[in-house]
A and B are shown apart, each in its own frame.
Chain A
Amino acid sequence: MEQVAGLDDESVAWLRVLDPAATDHTDGLARLHERLLRIARAEVHRRAVSISGPEIDDLAHQAAADAMLAILAKRDTFRGESRFTTWAYRFVILEVSSKLGRHFWRRAPDTLDDEQWERLPDRLGVDPHEQAEARRLAEVVRVAVDETLTEHQRSVFVEVVLNGVPLDALCARDQTTRNAVYKTVFDARRKIRAALVANGYLETSMRQEDPS
């Protein structure tokens, strides 16, 4: 592999040992895997998901193994924009996310098929004391969703926003990317907002994008 200019010593050492021609290549692979496994275990624990015992270890082992494969396959694309380990750890963090998304469906709530619009205020963090406004808010959003979103946008909006299905769980089930699901919800939010401005529920001053 061609040497990347300006690298720190540790990154250079990792790249050297991950070269299959290195005499200590096998030892290097073992050390990298050990680190990835440690990070995967810590990450699953950190996220405090409803997984326990052997399942945590299974998931961590799978994430570390898949991250290892991805790192070895893509090490030639490492450009030295960060330390090698930071670049490598990203793979295992993303693998943990993806695997937790798949795991969601093993213990998914039975109510996921329902459209529970009364949950919307809770999802948005509306104070329970504002019951009357919360009901009105849920109703105006439901109408905007029905009238302005495509069938696909509506379905994703209901699953993600109302039912609280994690983006990575939808990706795993629908064989799509997180970016695609995010973009669908992003577009839905814009359309709903425009509809609520048009029907007067939100002020016309809210027409412009407000990045604050």
Chain B
Amino acid sequence: MNARERLIRFLTTDPRDVGCEEAMAILHVYAEVAAQDPVAAAERYPGVAAHLAACGPCREDLTGLLAAVSGDA
């Protein structure tokens, strides 16, 4: 990926992106589906998936929650 493509990727926003507040409100629900099947979670909650793809801190929270849930199994 060249410099211009990287810039375009950074500047591209997804209109489906629900934002941090909405994504965090159902993170536990999303995590349980994602723990079984990440693709199914993204298909069921496309706005949350779009947000998690763009927001590093929320993605980090999902990773932490998945680790917590899997450590609990």
Residues in chain A within 8 A of chain B (CB atoms): 35, 39, 42-43, 46-47, 81-83, 85-87, 89-90, 92-94, 96-97, 121, 124-127, 130, 133-134, 137, 141, 166-168, 177-179, 182-183, 186, 189-190, 192-193, 196, 202, 206, 209-212
Contact = CB atoms under 8 A, between A and B. Distances in A.
Given A43-B68, A46-B67, A83-B32, A124 B60 contact: no
A206 B3 contact: no
B16 interface: yes
Contact of A86 (B1, B7, B21, B31): B31
Given A43-B64, A90-B65, A133-B3, A209 B14 contact: yes
A96 B64 contact: yes
A43 B63 CA distance: 10
A93 B65 contact: yes
B6 A125 contact: yes
Q: In the complex, which of the residues A39, A96, A141, A196 has the most CB atoms of chain B within 10 Å of its own CB atom?
A: A39
Contact of B67 (A42, A87, A127): A42
Interface of B: 1-4, 6-8, 10-17, 19-21, 24, 26-29, 31-32, 50, 54-58, 60-61, 63-65, 67-69, 71-72
A182 B55 contact: yes
Q: In the complex, which of the residues A134, A137, A182 has the most CB atoms of chain B within 10 Å of its own CB atom?
A: A182
B13 A186 contact: yes
A178 B65 CA distance: 18
A39 B39 CA distance: 26
